[in-house]
Structure 1
Amino acid sequence: MAPAASRPILPDELTENILLRLDAAADVVRAAVACGDHLRIARHRCFQRQFRSLRPPPVLGLLPSGGAELICAEPPHRSAPAARAVAREGDFAFSFLPRDPAAFTDWRVFDARDGRVLLSRRSTEAATFVDLVICDPPHRRYVLIPPIPDEVVLKRYSAKMESEPFLAAACEGEESKFQVIYNWISQYKIDTFVFSSDTGKWCAATSISFLPSRLIANPKVLRRYYVGSHFYWVHGPYGHMLVLDQIEMKFSIVAIPFDGNDYIYGIYQACESSPFSMLE
């Protein structure tokens, strides 16, 4: 019997280059579990960061504010099969969430990020802040966010003011944790509170006043975007945009470098993909 051919040993640099050429993270995982050398390379943070920079996360669909369904990506979009599978297995009507028959309002989608969905409803006990819940539709799991305590608020708010809850982006290596940012908006000021899943508590994070310069005349009409650890609120005719640094949790107002009569419809960015958590 002829001796079995020995498996060629490839340098790590060449193996890494091959793995980086795979189409999706799932392909890397399959290759990693089949070979110890592949697994060692795929587990390395440098490799994962490089792969994420080359492979943006797939867009599976859109969530209307009222929920009820996932509007799936359709062929020939490459995410169409995955979108159909998620829509079939998940509960995007959010029927697993607690209901209050006495309430006049029900849960509605407010934000979605990193596979989580943030929903809100007007509290029946308070006329100002809204009830919040974070949920995972494919697994029908949810976490109720506690109300902001009085000792954190420290001031009186009016129901005429506007609430804007949204999800912070997950930090590298901390994808299992989440933060909810809650802006309380008047015509002249924004107060910002942050809830951390790590502590289970709210804290008063920052605030900004638009007086006396009034560079932003009405913050309630601003549209929010997220790019590179910063949130941007934009309304083109104002000529200025509001910026929140998610890391430093500080606001600033930045001039828009073009004619204020132009509208902004998007902020271009490079995206990152989901983590290789199953290889840990």
Structure 2
Amino acid sequence: MESPRTLEALTNDLVVEIFLRIGSPADLVRASAACVAFCRLIANPSFLRQYRSVHPPLLLGLLDPYGDIEPTETPHPSAALAGAVARAADLRFGEYFPSSKLSGYCVSDVRDGHVLLTITPYLEDDEDEKLVPDLAVCDPLARVCLRLPPIPDDLLASVQVQQQDLVHYSCDTFLVPSGDEEDVTSFRVIVMMRSTQMLVAFIFSSTTGDWSAGSPFSLGSLRIPYDNIPSYAYGCFYWKVESENRLLTLNMSSMEFSVVDLPPGPDRSFVIMVEAGESRLGMFSLINHGTTLCYAIRQIGSEKSNQLEMDSVIPLPEGYIYFRIHGSYEGHILIFGYAFSEDACFALEIKTMKIERVCRKWRGFCPYFVFLPSMSQRRI
């Protein structure tokens, strides 16, 4: 009599491949509850990073500077689940600082489920305003918050920035997208200080708990608008230079600024750089006074790096006078349409070029993308 066949034990690699094909985060959570081994595999940051690359997080809506959310509306596919998840998120950021004397806080940026807050403390009559604002990073779904240490005075002095220079500087603060990093629970914060003549960037790493500084950069005649939100691709931040077909870049590996020329063409009022795959940069730009959205691809690090490989016009929603584009987030860019009757915010998926309406009105410009609560780790 033939002995019964037995199934060979599945390797962890095969189990991971099976779990990556589970489309519903809720079903994935049920699988994690089956046994300790499954739970350990699914909770691993490396697996969560892979799952995230295959199954994008939900777009809950837009956060305004005060932490209020404008939820995603139907017919957007995230609308039904977004409403429930938004109710589970704790966006009352002031409750994270019960023993602190604050005059207020402001949402500066949102990336990878983290919310960056700029904190304004009460100042006594004999206290001077700080050169660099207090900062905190929160995870509303995990309901945790970390207040960042101040930038050390000796680090500020090392790049010729001192307290008496306060009136000559302004600060931009934003988060660094996690990208393909293995540890999806860590985060980095950039403080970019600018005067009329100089830029310098400071970076905080949650892994080390320390601040570091990049090389100061002389602006010369370059003008970077203060409301110009940077885009991020392949480890670099990009800002459009005002009234010029050039970009200011910040390389996160070297922490150095540089300026690159855009290919010849029409004056581009807004430019967003994205990852187009195969070492190619995608470039979205608005021309014709904000009425036409163009997309082009350029090769990185070759003789053709300053030439457009492809240039196309993307049809925009009808019924709007003009548009603005804003940042790149989780494989999307935001498009704001302005009309006489009713404005609206749209999200364009970079991979498919599909445009979907997010909401009809908005007060903020920070899109809040998250996994379902049951898929969120304690990230801070």
Which category of TM-score, normalised to the shorter sequence, fits these structures? 0.7 to 0.9
- Determine the structure 2 residue equivalent to 1:108: 106
- Determine the structure 2 residue equivalent to 1:90: 89
- Determine the structure 1 residue equivalent to 2:22: 22
Which of 142, 154, 161 is the aligned partner of 2:145? 142
Q: Which runs of 5+ in 1 are unaligned?
A: none
By how many angstroms is 1:52 displaced?
Answer: 3.9
Paired residues of 2:203 and 2:212 also in contact (CA < 8 A): yes
- Determine the structure 2 residue equivalent to 1:77: 76
Q: Say which SS state the counterpart of residue 87 (structure 1) adopts.
A: helix
Q: Say which SS state the counterpart of residue 95 (structure 2) adopts.
A: coil
1 or 2 for the larger relative contact order (CA 8 Å, sep ≥6)?
2
**How many residues of Structure 1 are paired with residues of Structure 2 in the alignment?**
269
| Farther-moved stretch of structure 1 (78-87 vs 225-234) | 78-87
Q: Distance in 2 between matches of 1:230 and 1:26?
A: 35
- Determine the structure 1 residue equivalent to 2:352: none
Paired residues of 2:45 and 2:183 also in contact (CA < 8 A): no
Q: Distance in 2 between matches of 1:242 and 1:138?
A: 35
Which of 195, 199, 202 is the aligned partner of 2:204? 195
| Farther-moved stretch of structure 1 (69-78 vs 5-14) | 5-14
Amino acid at match of 1:107: Y
- Shift of the 247–52 alpha-carbon distance from structure 1 to 2, 3 Å rule, reads farther
| Farther-moved stretch of structure 1 (226-235 vs 36-45) | 36-45
By how many angstroms is 1:47 displaced?
Answer: 7.2
- Determine the structure 1 residue equivalent to 2:59: 59
Amino acid at match of 2:95: F
By how many angstroms is 1:201 displaced?
Answer: 2.2
Q: Distance in 1 between matches of 2:135 and 2:232?
A: 21
By how many angstroms is 1:107 displaced?
Answer: 0.2
- Shift of the 7–46 alpha-carbon distance from structure 1 to 2, 3 Å rule, reads farther
Which of 237, 245, 249 is the aligned partner of 1:231? 237
By how many angstroms is 1:46 displaced?
Answer: 8.6
Paired residues of 1:161 and 1:185 also in contact (CA < 8 A): yes
- Determine the structure 2 residue equivalent to 1:251: 257
Output the TM-score relative to the length of structure 1. Answer: 0.76
Q: Say which SS state the counterpart of residue 273 (structure 2) adopts.
A: coil
| Farther-moved stretch of structure 1 (138-147 vs 10-19) | 10-19
Q: Deviations over 1:196-253 (max 9, x none)?
A: 2222222223332123xx3x23453533112232211124632111112223322221
Paired residues of 1:60 and 1:83 also in contact (CA < 8 A): yes
Amino acid at match of 1:181: I
By how many angstroms is 1:179 displaced?
Answer: 1.6
Paired residues of 2:223 and 2:241 also in contact (CA < 8 A): no
Q: Say which SS state the counterpart of residue 238 (structure 1) adopts.
A: coil
Q: Say which SS state the counterpart of residue 217 (structure 1) adopts.
A: coil
1:133 aligns with 2:136: yes
Q: Distance in 2 between matches of 1:268 and 1:73?
A: 23
- Determine the structure 2 residue equivalent to 1:240: 246
Q: Deviations over 1:4-27 (max 9, x none)?
A: x98977998998776554324444
1:164 aligns with 2:176: no
Q: Deviations over 1:98-146 (max 9, x none)?
A: 279976x410100111111111034544342111111122343211112
Paired residues of 1:187 and 1:218 also in contact (CA < 8 A): no
By how many angstroms is 1:61 displaced?
Answer: 1.3
Q: Distance in 1 between matches of 2:149 and 2:38?
A: 43
Q: Distance in 2 between matches of 1:165 and 1:37?
A: 40
Q: Distance in 2 between matches of 1:40 and 1:261?
A: 52
Amino acid at match of 1:248: S
Q: Say which SS state the counterpart of residue 23 (structure 2) adopts.
A: coil
By how many angstroms is 1:74 displaced?
Answer: 2.3
- Determine the structure 1 residue equivalent to 2:195: 186
Q: Distance in 2 between matches of 1:240 and 1:43?
A: 43
Q: Say which SS state the counterpart of residue 86 (structure 1) adopts.
A: helix
Amino acid at match of 2:189: V
| Farther-moved stretch of structure 1 (228-237 vs 147-156) | 228-237
- Determine the structure 1 residue equivalent to 2:118: 120
Q: Distance in 2 between matches of 1:200 and 1:149?
A: 12
Amino acid at match of 2:109: D
Q: Distance in 1 between matches of 2:45 and 2:97?
A: 39
